[in-house]
């Protein structure tokens, strides 16, 4: 049996099956050196020169992620999700036009509204799940990038990746997809036509809430991808070796965690949809979700680990519900083994597209009955 015939879950579980040649260890060692010996002719036959652009532990983690995403041009790891995302925009030229999802990670949206414009980029925000609006926003020959987040945080709208790729390519633009809340277990945007896929690897790729990291994967090793590599190299955005080691450890159990988290999220979404104190559940796995049919087509084996609920009684009831949970943790971030709850409108502030009665739920690996019971008592406590 060759590696090519193995399922991605098998390759990921063994971190591509690499054995340390010196000790025969089945767990890859951490390479921490920042500098490397030159050959007698002053060359670097090892391929390593200095720690800022290259590190073997980082290379090994990148190989696992590239395999999972079917990224022919490979993957790049960064010191954070923001570092990865902004590197794509910094690879553009002043004056370039970008169309981005109106609903997206709030920190990146804020950066696009402020810092990106200082770089000379022109940004238009649009509902990328509405293909007519997306097509109207794209300017052939002028638009250089469409940035789509799907499922989009925290409303979980779904963008048709294949259709968005057609729109982008017809206009001479690239399509980049933030797939943080899908993960390569459920969606592989590059196989659907996207040019670049981005992950806040801090989240479910790592899965243990103890690493800050970001990642980019590319379909083609073209001039734009070369520019992204240069941005990371020259600005020093590479992930540290210890963080890369922890990220690789997390990816070894990604499939197990995602299967459990996605199944639990689906069960919670169904039960909370019938809860008398919940006015609406936002989850693409529900048949009534506007993007369900597209999600069913482009997501495999589940609909992800994230959902949001809108609490009957409005903002005050939502905040009170979050205050009463016992098993869920009130904290920012998502994708870890522990379930998190957050009132997003309070975090995002003015200009947020997030309804004030909305609570975002990140589903962990706890028993789903315990998770539901915790939400039920938190919702119901004010009505007893």
Where does residue 302 rank: exposed (0-12), middle (13-18), buried (19+ CB within 10 A)? buried
Tell me whether residue 178 is one of the annotated catalytic residues.
yes
| Options 18, 52, 139, 271, the catalytic residue | 52
Do residues 340 and 322 touch, judged by C-beta distance below 8 A?
Answer: no
How is residue 29 annotated by DSSP? P
Kind and range of the H or E run holding 138: none
Tell me whether residue 328 is one of the annotated catalytic residues.
no
| Options 102, 144, 188, 203, the catalytic residue | 203
How is residue 205 annotated by DSSP? T
Alpha carbons 312 and 288: distance in angstroms, whole number:
19
Query: What is the crossing angle of helices 81-90 and 106-113, to 10°?
Result: 30
Sheet with 340-342, edge to edge strand ranges: 278-282, 306-311, 358-362, 340-342, 329-330
Tokens 């957050």 found at: 342
Tell me whether residue 233 is one of the annotated catalytic residues.
no
Kind and range of the H or E run holding 374: helix 368-380
Buried b (16+ CB within 10 A) or exposed e, 52-87: eebbbbbbbbbbbbbbbbebebbbbbbbbbbbbbbb
How is residue 39 annotated by DSSP? P
Alpha carbons 46 and 36: distance in angstroms, whole number:
8
Where does residue 167 rank: exposed (0-12), middle (13-18), buried (19+ CB within 10 A)? buried
Longest CA–CA separation in the chain, Å: 80
| Options 129, 160, 178, 374, the catalytic residue | 178
Positive or negative, the CA dihedral 74, 79, 83, 87 is: negative
Tell me whether residue 52 is one of the annotated catalytic residues.
yes
Cα 91 to Cα 40, 213, 331, distances in angstroms: 36, 19, 33
Alpha carbons 376 and 104: distance in angstroms, whole number:
28
The catalytic residue positions are 52, 105, 178, 203
């Amino acid at each position: 049996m060759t590696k090519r015939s193995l399922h991605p879950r098998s390759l990921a579980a063994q971190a591509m099956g690499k054995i340390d040649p010196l000790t025969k260890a089945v767990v890859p060692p951490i390479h921490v050196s920042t500098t490397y010996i030159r050959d007698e002719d002053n060359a670097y036959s090892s391929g390593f020169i200095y720690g800022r652009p290259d590190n073997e532990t980082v290379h090994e983690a990148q190989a696992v992620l590239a395999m999972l995403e079917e990224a022919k041009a490979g993957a790049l790891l960064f010191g954070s999700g923001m570092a990865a995302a902004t590197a794509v925009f910094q690879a553009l030229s002043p004056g370039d036009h970008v169309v981005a999802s109106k609903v997206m990670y709030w920190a990146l949206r804020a950066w696009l509204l402020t810092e990106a414009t200082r770089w000379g980029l022109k940004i238009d925000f649009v509902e990328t799940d509405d293909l007519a609006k997306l097509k109207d926003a794209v300017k052939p020959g002028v638009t250089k990038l469409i940035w789509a987040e799907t499922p989009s945080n925290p409303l979980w709208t779904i963008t048709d990746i294949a259709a968005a790729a057609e729109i982008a390519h017809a206009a001479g633009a690239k399509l980049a997809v933030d797939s943080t809340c899908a993960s390569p277990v459920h969606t592989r945007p590059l196989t659907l036509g996207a040019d670049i896929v981005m992950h806040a690897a801090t989240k479910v790729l790592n899965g243990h809430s103890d690493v800050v990291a970001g990642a980019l994967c590319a379909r083609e090793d073209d001039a734009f991808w070369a520019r992204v590599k240069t941005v990371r190299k020259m600005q020093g955005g590479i992930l540290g070796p210890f963080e890369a080691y922890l990220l690789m450890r997390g990816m070894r159990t990604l499939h197990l965690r995602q299967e459990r988290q996605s199944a639990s999220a689906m069960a919670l979404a169904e039960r909370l949809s019938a809860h008398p104190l919940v006015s609406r559940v936002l989850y693409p796995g529900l048949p009534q979700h506007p993007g369900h049919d597209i999600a069913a087509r482009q997501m495999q084996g589940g609909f992800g680990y994230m959902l949001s609920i809108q609490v009957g009684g409005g903002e005050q009831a939502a905040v009170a519900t979050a205050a009463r949970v016992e098993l869920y943790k009130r904290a920012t971030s998502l994708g870890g083994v522990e379930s998190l709850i957050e009132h997003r409108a309070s975090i995002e502030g003015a200009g947020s597209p997030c309804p004030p009665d909305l609570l975002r739920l990140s589903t962990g690996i706890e028993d789903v009955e315990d998770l539901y019971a915790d939400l039920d008592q938190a919702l119901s406590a004010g009505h007893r």
